[in-house]
Amino acid sequence: MSTIIPLDQMTTPEKLRLMEELWADLSRNELEFESPLWHEVVLKEREERLREGEETPIDWDKAKEDLRNRLR
């Protein structure tokens, strides 16, 4: 199936909403695919930075709101 999405005509908030919808759909079928190895490496690096106090977690809803505000 081929789908044409007019990305050049979409606003940034529209693109972000589309990405969220795609991710929500993919997440419903998470057992159908495996994360790539690089993803595990990145997660382990971030966990280490958290343990070392080099990074502070941010609430996911707050992070999304901050990104949306920056991209407007």
23 inside domain: no
61 inside domain: yes
69 inside domain: yes
13 inside domain: no
48 inside domain: yes
63 inside domain: yes
What lies within 8 Å, CB to CB, of 26 at 6+ separation is 33
- The closest alpha carbon to 72, from 6, 9, 5, 14, belongs to 14
Answer yes or no: pTM beyond 0.75.
Answer: no
Distance CA 20, CA 5 (A): 15
Do the Cβ atoms of 18 and 10 come closer than 8 Å?
yes
User: Number of folded domains in the chain?
Assistant: 1
72 inside domain: yes
What lies within 8 Å, CB to CB, of 13 at 6+ separation is 68, 71, 72
Range of the domain at 42: 36-72
Q: What is the pLDDT along the chain (72 residues), one digit of tens a residue?
A: 888 999 999 999 999 999 999 999 988 887 887 889 999 999 999 999 999 999 988 999 999 999 999 988
